Chain A
Amino acid sequence: MTGREGQSEPPSRRTPVGEGVEPGAGRRGWGAGGGRAGWKPAPQDLQQRRGEGKRPRRTGWARAGERVIEGIIRTSGVSAVLFVLAIFFFVFREAAPVLFGGEHFKLLPFLFSVEWYPTSASNVRYGTLALTVGTFSVTALAMVLAVPFGLGAAVFVSEFCGPRLKEALKVVIELLAAIPSVVWGFIGLTVMSRLIVHFTGAPVGVNLLNGGIILALMSVPIIVSIGEDALKAVPDSYREAGLALGATRWQLVYRVLLPAARNGLLAAVLLGVGRAVGETMAVLMATGHAVNLPLGVFDSVRTLTANVAAELGEAPAGSDHYRVLFLTGVLLFSLTFVVNLVADLVIRGWRRK
């Protein structure tokens, strides 16, 4: 009797399921841990019994149907890979002509110049450095604000608060996650920008700080719910062992639970980062949309995503500008890929230790 579920639902309560009242119900126990040898074989018995009775009576149609369904399930399994490859292929295909021989396009200035003049009448320049820096600065600021809040809230919800408060908090946090991004952008543009000007004396309210706060508010719900799941997945035996050794609850959290759940918590933070990097509408409205290398949090910036959203609609299809915007898509894709890869390597490094 080690697992948490094992305590709350003793085997004796589950055994009747095996008797074949409800065919699907037997599966519910499959994922559970040890200590269940008494009832685990039951679903297999069930399957055998049913199998003997049913199989001969199945028609060709039913078998074909089953094969089709199997095919569908297999396809949905590998579809994620296909989709990623297909997206990359199509985005890259749109971008490729400018990469290999655009009129005003050179790769180095594209990556390392801040001069973004896609529709200049005299001197067209496609430099995205300011946009890349904008994306990273907004994301970094958002994470600085969101990670302590998000993980703190996850620890509180999972470990410290009572069951009724927990339910209430979870509902409210889910509600926070359900607010559409354009509404966040609206809050940034109107409420937050006035507050920032009023309290800090910044010359303009739509800036890096505004975008960072809005993105932090958008990422916190994700970090909380995934982080809470990660903490919940730590077996109760760890907690019991910690408490039995005389640890306080706080010691338990930061010496036992956080290390035990670190992969899940990192995943929570990464999903928050993903949300922040990919967010478009809210940052378009809240950051001021200025091509600018930020020197402080009160400077306005522009992100890669917002730039694509603002300009793609009116860039003539097939023009260099249009293709360069797709190329910024490739750049964004590569950046998030690198972030994910690094995080993955970090996790593996930890595992090896």
Chain B
Amino acid sequence: MSGVRARVALGVALAVLVGSGCGRRNHASVVIQNKGSDTMVNLAQAWAEAYREVTTDVAIEVSGGGSGVGIAALMRGTIDLANSSRDIKPREIEEVRRHTGREPAEVIAGYDALAIFVHRDNPIEMITFEQLSAIFREDGPVTRWSQLGVQVPGCQRDRIIRVSRQSSSGTYEFFRERVMQQRDFKLGSLDMNGSKEVVELVGNTPCAIGYSGMGYANGRVKMLKVAARSDGPAVAPTLESTLNHRYPIARSLHLYTVGEPTGALRDYLDWILSDAGQRVVQDCGYVPVKPGGGSH
């Protein structure tokens, strides 16, 4: 008898739990499904959270999986908004057209600029793609700072300590693709689990060099000027050089919809491009689209 009562009580408790969970969801009349790039998943989450304070009528459900996964889901119609840290491919535009009969629409919501970090005491000022590749790639010959012509104070053994990212991160892939033409990394680099950890470690280690988002810079590290070609100009990573595409290790953060967005989706995208949305971009360590727009 008591067993039956307990079961009823359990049922009621479950119903209350489930009900309350649904109840909270139901406040939002519109749900926007958002999926895509793992690089952008934290940013998308931060947008979704900040947007909850703007309106409770719209809920945004964010998931990762990769840029390609997001675009594929968009053309199947299972999501409303795809995040992508690369440009949509012509083949994918074609597929979207074929599946939905409409054109994909693109919004650039910010930029991801990778800075090359060294310890602030390191006298080196600029570096080329060729040098970076020789340091980081599998058979790259550069292992000592003296090979780059610098003496680093506090680095007695002259060895270059390479600081990298775990192999599944988007930043790792972007660096490999842009700087090393898809060749593999040399083993023995210190693979950190986050952008911030890279900068922290470089700041504590005079011998170190590493790459990470520009927004993570602090007072103990120095960002190098980067030249894509050995005879080309070296460009410092700044908001400005990212926006005018002169800085070579930067990519756009895209949002794709099927057709021109309308209604709640339009409002959300407008909010992302507003000062409030762009401030989130900057807080996540990325570069906002409008210079100064998100900074204050």
Contacts from A to B (Cβ < 8 Å): 114-123, 130, 189, 193-194, 197, 201, 203-206, 284, 288-292, 300, 302, 310-311, 313-316, 321
| Complex interface bits, B199-216 against A, C-beta within 8 A gives 1, otherwise 0 | 011001101100000000
A203 touches B161 (CB 8 A): yes
* With A289-B191, A314-B168 as contacts: A117 and B184 at CB distance below 8 Å: yes
Interface string of B32-68 (1 = CB under 8 A from A): 0000001000000000000000000000000001100
**Is B207's CB under 8 angstroms from A203's CB?**
yes
A197 contacts B187, C-beta separation under 8 Å: no
Q: Which residues of B contact A316 (CB under 8 A)?
A: 65-66
Which single residue of chain A is at the shortest CB-CB distance from B161? A204
A116 CB contacts on chain B under 8 angstroms: 187
Q: Is B290 an interface residue (CB 8 A)?
A: no
Contacts of A122 in B (CB 8 A): 182-184
Alpha-carbon distance between A300 and B169 when the two chains are bound, in angstroms: 21
In the complex, A288→B168 CA distance in Å? 17
Of A116, A204, A291, A302, the most chain B CB neighbours within 10 A belong to A204
In the complex, A288→B166 CA distance in Å? 12
Closest-CB distance, B177 to chain A (whole angstroms): 8
Whether B167 sits at the interface, judged by CB under 8 Å, is yes
Report whether B205 and A289 are in contact in the complex, using a CB–CB cutoff of 8 Å.
no
For residue B191, give the distance in angstroms from its CB to the closest CB of chain A: 5
Which of B166, B189, B204 sits near A314, CB closer than 8 Å?
A: B166
A321 to B161, CA, bound (A): 27
B188 touches A300 (CB 8 A): yes
Closest to B183 in A: A122
Looking at the assembled complex, report how far the CB atom of A46 sits from the nearest CB atom of chain B, in whole angstroms.
Answer: 30
Residues of B near A311 (CB, < 8 A) are 166-168
Q: How far is the CA of A345 from the CA of B192 in the complex (A)?
A: 40
User: Is B155's CB within 8 Å of the partner chain A?
Assistant: yes
Contacting B205 at CB < 8 Å: which of A120, A121, A203, A315? A203
Are A204 and B208 in contact, with the CB atoms below 8 A? yes
- A206 and B168: CB pair below 8 A? no
Considering only CB atoms, which chain A residue lies closest to B207 in the complex? A203
* 10 additional A-B residue pairs with CB within 8 Å, beyond A119-B168, A193-B204, A205-B204: A115-B187, A118-B168, A119-B167, A122-B183, A130-B187, A197-B204, A201-B157, A289-B191, A291-B191, A316-B65
Is the beta-carbon distance between B188 and A292 smaller than 8 angstroms? yes
Report chain A residues within 8 Å CB of B166. Answer: 289, 310-311, 314
Nearest residue (CB) in A for B69 is A316
CB pair B184 A300 closer than 8 Å = no
Contact A204 B184 (CB under 8 A): no
Residue of B nearest to A121 (CB): B182
- Cβ 8 A contact of A206, one of B65, B155, B201: B201
B269 at interface, CB cutoff 8 A: no
Q: A118-B167, A314-B38 are in contact. Are A204 and B205 (CB under 8 A)?
A: yes
Taking a contact as CB atoms under 8 Å apart, the answer to whether B205 and A197 are in contact is: yes
In the docked arrangement, what's the CA distance between A117 and B191, Å? 13
A255 CB to nearest B CB, Å: 48
Chain B residues within CB distance 8 Å of chain A: 38, 65-66, 155-157, 159, 161, 166-169, 172-173, 176-177, 182-184, 187-193, 200-201, 204-205, 207-208
C-alpha spacing A204/B203, complex, angstroms: 11
**Other-chain residue from B159, B184, B190, B191 in contact with A120 (beta carbon distance below 8 A):** B184
**25 A-B pairs whose Cβ atoms sit less than 8 Å apart in the complex:** A118-B167, A119-B172, A121-B182, A121-B184, A123-B184, A189-B200, A203-B157, A203-B159, A203-B205, A204-B161, A204-B201, A205-B205, A206-B190, A288-B190, A289-B192, A290-B188, A290-B189, A290-B191, A302-B191, A310-B166, A311-B167, A314-B38, A314-B166, A315-B168, A321-B168
Q: How far is it, in angstroms, between the C-alpha of A290 and the C-alpha of B167 when the chains are bound?
A: 11
Is the beta-carbon distance between A194 and B204 smaller than 8 angstroms? yes
Complex CA gap A178/B66 in Å reads 39
Q: In the complex, how many angstroms separate the beta carbon of B60 from the nearest chain A beta carbon?
A: 22
A290 to B183, CA, bound (A): 18
Max count, chain A CB within 10 A of own CB: residue among B66, B155, B176, B188: B188
Q: Give Cα distance in the complex from A123 to B187, angstroms.
A: 14
**Do A204 and B168 form a contact, CB below 8 Å, given A121-B176, A123-B184?**
no
Assess whether A300 is in contact with B193, with CB atoms less than 8 Å apart. no
Contact pick for A114, options B172, B187, B193, B200, CB 8 Å: B187
Contacts of A321 in B (CB 8 A): 168
Contacts of A289 in B (CB 8 A): 166, 190-193
Residues of B within 8 A of A205 (CB): 204-205
Instruction: List residues of chain A with CB within 8 A of the CB of B177.
Output: 121
Closest residue to B172 on the A side, CB-wise?
A119
Q: Could you tell me the distance between the alpha carbons of A120 and B177 in the complex, rounded to whole angstroms?
A: 11
Distance of A123 Cα from B176 Cα, bound (Å): 14
Contacts of A302 in B (CB 8 A): 191
